[in-house]
Homo-oligomer: A and B are copies of this chain.
Amino acid sequence: MIQSIDRAAKILGLLQGSRRLGISEMAAALDLPPSTVHGIVKSLQSHGFVAQQPSGNRYVLGPALLKLSSVYLDTLDVRARSMRWMHELSRRTGLASRLGVESFGEVIVIHHDRRPDGTEQMPETGVTIPSHVSAMGKVLLAYDAAHAADVLSRPLPSLTAETTTEPDLLREEFEQVRRDALGYENEEAVIGESSVAAPICAEDGEVIAAIAVVMPSNAWPPTAAVLDDLREAARNISRELGAPTWPPRPPAPGQD
């Protein structure tokens, strides 16, 4: 692990958490001399990874990150294959759909197709959601014992009154997910918002992503028609990716 790169990454992580920071604030947070932090920040700045606001001495994340992330998205085969099916899914259900993958114990949304009702909606691509409060997260964990064990080994934050923070309850949910090939989440992340997710399999049969539809909680539970559309989309995407079966064959029945 190269020290200065590690520190640079930590600085970016810091700026991710609290939007605008001065050199000395970062130095205090990382317990480093300000001059060291300054050197790193200036290097990051010269490549556009951080920028300093016009208002002077505070730093924020920079535009180079956006350009890189755009290329990152382009490299994702799942995403390219999914877009057309997700659009169809949103059109048929009238709901927003999301595609997510696992990243460092969270779910990161790699594509988002809005509700087709013409209202203004925030783009959600790039948003991360703790796995245990997300329907997609539950699906991804249910088919990945290693990540599941990792996530459940740490304390689980509670985001709403409905959040499940009990590892054993989540383990039961994972079993249900493996049975139905569907994961649910009812106001566990955001009040008033619920979602259902299904797994997406790659060529080797592994679950590599999850697709979800998001609905207002007053439309809960989802109708059979919505679930069918969701399953259909997941199956079609998986087939395009060359998956041998769908629903995925559950992994060896170990404990997660």
| A interface residues with partner B (beta carbon < 8 Å) | 1-2, 4-6, 8-9, 12-13, 15-16, 19-20, 39-40, 42-44, 46-49, 54, 60-75, 83-84, 87, 91, 101, 103-104, 108, 110-111, 116, 118, 120, 122-123, 125-128, 204
Contact = CB atoms under 8 A, between A and B. Distances in A.
Nearest to A112: B123
Contacts of A5: 4-5, 8, 40, 43-44, 47
Chain B CB within 10 Å, residue with most, of A20, A62, A120, A126: A126
A199 to B, nearest CB: 17
A109 to B, nearest CB: 9
A55 to B, nearest CB: 10
Given A69-B126, A127-B70, A60 B75 contact: yes
B66 A126 contact: yes
Contact of A101 (B8, B63, B126, B204): B63
Nearest to A125: B123
Contact of A4 (B4, B49, B62, B204): B4
Contacts of A72: 60-63, 65-66
B66 A69 contact: yes
Contacts of A69: 61, 65-66, 68-70, 126
B68 A91 contact: no
B64 A103 contact: yes
Contacts of A87: 120
Nearest 8 A/B pairs, CB to CB: A70-B126, A69-B69, A9-B47, A63-B103, A61-B72, A5-B43, A66-B69, A2-B43
A57 B46 CA distance: 30
Chain B CB within 10 Å, residue with most, of A6, A43, A71: A71
A177 to B, nearest CB: 22
A228 to B, nearest CB: 21
A103 B50 CA distance: 12
B103 A75 contact: no
A70 B91 CA distance: 26
17 contacts: A4-B4, A5-B40, A5-B44, A8-B8, A13-B47, A16-B67, A19-B71, A60-B72, A62-B72, A63-B101, A63-B108, A63-B110, A64-B104, A65-B69, A66-B126, A69-B70, A116-B118
